[in-house]
Amino acid sequence: MLASEAIYQILGSIFNDRVGPSPLPEGFDKSETYITYEGISSMPLMTVKNWTGHDHVRIQVNVMNHDNIECEKAAIKVKREMDSQSIIKCEFLGERYAGLDVETQLWQIQIDFYMWQITC
């Protein structure tokens, strides 16, 4: 399973399917939390002869909300759900408070994870 598929499967129902790849879609409703994700880096798992079909990927999950407190609560939900799921191996790396985005007027918290994805 790809990391992006796993993220949607884990977080989609919790955030009313307001989960998708970065950037935010045009015309989105700013009244609720929105989650985006993007790949940061990938390292293939190799044997002596070839690639195994597994990648160790670094994924950034972006939590956005018009209210700072709700954004923080949503970030806690993301960490809790990603930690307790059993769909894909996942390791929490850290988070960054990105503050208020002037263009969208949304508060943003970025959470990084390592995930093992299987591509074949």
Q: Which domains does the chain have, with CATH numbers?
A: 3-118 (3.30.2000.10)
Kind and range of the H or E run holding 20: strand 19-21
Given a contact cutoff of 8 angstroms between Cβ atoms, the answer to whether 36 and 24 are in contact is: yes
Q: Give me 88's structure tokens.
A: 């894909």
Q: Are strands 34-46 and 19-21 parallel, antiparallel or unpaired?
A: parallel
Per residue in 24-67, pLDDT (tens digit) is 888 888 889 999 999 999 887 777 788 777 888 999 999 999 99
pLDDT for 63? 98
Across the range 66-83, mean pLDDT stands at: 97
pLDDT for 72? 98
Look at the block and give the residue holding tokens 């307790």: 84
Given a contact cutoff of 8 angstroms between Cβ atoms, the answer to whether 62 and 35 are in contact is: yes
